């Protein structure tokens, strides 16, 4: 069984509207799920809004079908003054199986925003040790 480092941040089932014209799960849907999970992690860690300012290093090493479950794991790999970089990995699991295969991964950089919607300092006290 495949495993990933980081927190489980999304668990969702691929539906027919998530398919590409060839019948597999659309890569754009996978990317959006990775981004949603990464943003959730950043907001949870900082207590602030998180907006994507960069997305890199995407790969799609496996495939998913409708009905498969996507499990997204995320971990902070860099903390800047107003930004965090998050590495994500998505694993697909067939509906009637416990086996998982990595289907997507990528890295996101977020800037955190204060109440005034301007970049805010990352509060190191909110970060787990």
pTM: 0.91
Instruction: With beta carbons less than 8 A apart as the criterion, state whether 82 and 124 touch.
Output: no
Which pLDDT score is estimated for 123?
80
Q: Tell me: the pLDDT tens digits for 62-81?
A: 999 999 999 999 999 999 99
With 0-12 / 13-18 / 19 or more C-beta atoms within 10 angstroms meaning exposed / middle / buried, residue 96 is exposed
Whether pLDDT at 91 is above 80: yes
Output the six-digit token pair for 96: 């009637």
Given pLDDT bands bounded at 50, 70 and 90, which one contains residue 124? Answer: low
Give the helix/strand (H/E) hosting 20. Answer: none
What domains appear along the chain, each with residue ranges and CATH number? 7-118 (3.10.129.10)
Quick one: pLDDT band at residue 125, thresholds 50, 70, 90? very low
Q: Indicate the DSSP class of residue 26.
A: P
Residue 129 has a pLDDT of 42
% of residues, the chain, pLDDT over 70:
93
pLDDT value at 90 more than 80: yes
Residues of 6-28 as b/e, b for ≥16 C-beta within 10 angstroms? bbebbebebeeebbeeeebbbee
């Amino acid at each position: 069984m495949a495993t990933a480092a980081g927190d489980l941040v999304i668990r969702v089932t691929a539906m027919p509207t998530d398919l590409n014209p060839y019948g597999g799960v659309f890569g754009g849907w996978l990317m959006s799920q990775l981004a949603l999970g990464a943003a959730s992690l950043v907001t949870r860690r900082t207590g602030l809004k998180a907006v994507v300012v960069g997305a890199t290093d995407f790969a799609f090493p496996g495939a998913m079908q409708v009905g498969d479950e996507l499990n997204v794991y995320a971990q902070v790999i860099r903390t800047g003054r107003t930004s965090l970089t998050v590495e994500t990995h998505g694993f697909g699991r067939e509906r009637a199986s416990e086996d998982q295969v990595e289907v997507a991964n990528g890295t996101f950089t977020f800037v955190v925003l204060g109440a005034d919607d301007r970049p805010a300092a990352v509060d190191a006290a909110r970060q787990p040790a």
